[in-house]
Amino acid sequence: MYKLKSKFKPQGDQPEAIKKLVENINMGIKYNTLLGVTGSGKTYTMAKIIEETKRPALILSPNKILAVQLYREFKEFFPENRVEFFVSYYDYYQPEAYLPTRDMYIEKTADINDVLMKMRLSTLKSILTRKDVIVVSSVSAIYASGNPADFAETNLYLKVGEEYNRRKILEKLSKMQYTRKEDDFAGGTYRLKGEILDIFPPYDDFGIRVEFFDNEVESIKSFEILNKTTIEKFDKITLYPAKEFITSEKKIMNALSSIEEELNQRINFFKENGKLLEAQRIEQRVRQDIEFLEVMGYCKGIENYSRFFDGRNPGDTPSTLLDYFEKDFITFIDESHIAIPQIRAMYRGDHARKKNLIEYGFRLPAAFDNRPLRFDEFMEKTNQTVYVSATPGPFELEISDSIVEQIIRPTGLLDPEVVVKPTEGQIDDFIEELNKVIKRNERSLAVVLTKKDAEMLSEHLNLIGIKSAYLHSELDTLERTEVVKKLRNGDIDVVVGINLLREGLDLPEVSLVVIMDADREGFLRSETTLIQTIGRAARNVNGKVLLYADKVTKAMKFAIDETNRRRKLQKEFNEKNNIIPKSIIKELPKDIFETYKETIKENEFIFEVAEDTSMEDYIALLEEEMYKAASELNYERAAEYRDEINKVKKQYKK
C-alpha cells in the first residue's frame, strides 16, 4: 500500500524503536510516546511505522513552519502515495469581532490563499477516496469543517454512454459552489460551449472535459489547462464540491425553519431584556442570511449555521477533519510537549471571543457550535496515537502505555557536554571560550534574558573584534533569516538571543551554546526549553554547553541529568559498534528565504475584551494566546501572557 523511498536505512536504535512501535500499534495499544532526541531521525521512524502498519495517518504539527517541513519530508518519502497538507487557508485572518468598549463591529476579513484552499479540498477528497493517504496538518484539524457526509454526497457523477439533462448538471455544479466563467480557468469554475463542458476542480491541477452528443456523454478526459493536451481518458468520474463547507438543498430547506425558530427566540429574549437595538440587529442580519440560503444555497458565514444543517443539538461535537478518516487511522502528534497544551487551550479561547458577538446581537447562539474540539472530544475522535518529542510533557508520559526511546543518532553524535559555571565574570569567561571556538572555525550561540541584554552583549563583542549579531522578536522574518545565513556562512561568529529555538533551522556549524543566568526559572529556563536549547549543540562533534548560574535549579538538574543519561547511552553504543562521531554537513539552501516564502502568517485578531468580561473568559483568551505563542516557540511573548495571567489571578484573590 505504501512505498517508502529513501537513501537512508534504520540505524542506531531506530530499528528497535520502529519494531516496538509497530508491534504496539498492531497489538492495539492506544497511546505510545516516541522520545527521540534531536537529529535521531524521528520523521523517518514515523514514515517506517506508516509503511509497515499500512494504515492512513494524520500527522499533527503545532505550527505551520514545522508542518511545511514535515510535508516536504513525507512527500519525498512517499512519492507514489498521497501525501496531503491541511492548514489554515488564510494568509491573513481577522475574525468577526465586536468591541463593546468602543461600540465597534469588525467584519471578518481575510486574505484567502488559493493554493492552501486547494490543498485542503484535495485532502478531504483523498481521505474519502484512498487508503494510502498521509495528512500533515496544523491544529486546523480540530476546527469545525464541512460535514464529511455532505461533502461525499454532494458530488457530480458522470459516466460515458449515459444520458443527462445538461441544465440539471449546471444546477448541480452551482449547488456544489462552482461558478460559471467563460474566460477564467481558475479552480472552482466551469464553462459550457456548445456540447463541450469544461470543469476546473479546485483540488486538481488539470481540467475535466465532458463532451456530449445531444444529452449523451460521449467522452470524459482530463487535460492540461494551458496546453489543452489530453492527460487521461475516463469511463466515469466523480467531481467533489468547490468549497469545504457545503450541504444539500434538502438539508438547507430543513434547517431554515430551525434557524427561524432560534432567531425568534433571540428576538424575544432581547426585547424582554430591553435590548431593542440588539433585537433589530440580529433580525436584520439573520433574515438576510436566510434569503441567501434560500436562493443561492450559500451565505457569508454559513459555517455559523452548521449545527442546523447537521441536525446537532447545542453543545454537540462539530464535524472536523478527523471525521473524514475511517476508524483505523493513526495519529502522530509531533512536538507533543507544545501541541497538547495548544489543543487544550483552543476551545475556551474561541468561546470567549464569540461571546460578545452573540450577546450584542451579531450572531445567533448557534455560532458557539462552529468551534474547535474540546480536548476530551479530540481524544475521543482520535484512534491510536503516537506522541513524538525530545521532551514529552507530563500528559504524554502519564497516558502512554509504552514510551519508546530513540537516543542514538545515525551520525554517532553525542549529546553535548554540559558544564555549570558561576555568573561572576560570566562575560569574560564566555569570551575566552568563544575564542577557542573561533580558532576551530566553528560558531556559537548565547542566550540571555532580555532584548536589551542581547543588544548590549552583541555590541560589546563587536567592539572587542568578535563578529556578533543579536536576534529577538523585533526583527522581522527576513532579518532573522539573514542573521542565520551570516552565522552559517561564517560572516559572524556568534548570535546572541533571548530564545534561539524559533528559527526552526539546523545549525551544524554551532559547537558552543551558552545560557546566561541559567538559574532564572520561567518559560525561557524551564526543563523543556533547557533541553531543547542544549540540543542546539548536538549537531557538531565538538558540542559543548555552558550554563552560568549561582545555583542549580530543579529545571537545570533535570536537563543536565537527562543530557548526561542520553550521552552515556550514545557513548556506549558507539564504543560497542566502533562508531566514530561525525559532525553533520548540511549545505545552506540556495535561497535562504525559501522556507519563509512558503509559510503563512499565523492567525491574528484584535485582543480586546468588554469591561464586564469575567475573569475566567479573560484568562481563557490569555491562555489561548500564550499557548499559541509557545507553539511558535516565541517564549518571550508567551512569558508576557503568563505574567498577565498571574497578575489577574493575584488581583482576583485580593
Provide the annotated binding site for ATP.
36-43
469, containing H or E segment? strand 468-471
Per DSSP, helices labelled H in 242-335 are 249-272, 276-296, 306-310
Nearest to 198 by CA among 183, 176, 215, 213: 183
Q: 10 Å Cβ neighbour count for 274?
A: 9
Owner of C-alpha cell 517564549: 635
Q: Let me know: does 533 contact 500? Beta carbons within 8 Å.
A: yes
142, three cell numbers: 480540530
Positive or negative: CA dihedral 586, 587, 590, 592 = positive
> What whole-number distance in Å separates Cα of residue 366 and Cα of residue 255?
12
Q: Let me know: does 556 contact 547? Beta carbons within 8 Å.
A: yes
Nearest to 524 by CA among 453, 448, 472, 457: 448
Nearest to 507 by CA among 436, 437, 560, 445: 445
Q: Which residues pair with 90 in a beta bridge?
A: 112
- Complete DSSP assignment for 85-154: EE---EEEEE--EEEGGGTEEE--EEEE-HHHHHHHHHHHHHHHH-SSEEEEE-GGGGB----HHHHHHS
536: helix, strand or coil: helix
Annotated binding site: 36-43
Q: What pairing do the DSSP bridges indicate for beta strands 207-213 and 196-200? A: antiparallel
> What whole-number distance in Å separates Cα of residue 144 and Cα of residue 369?
9
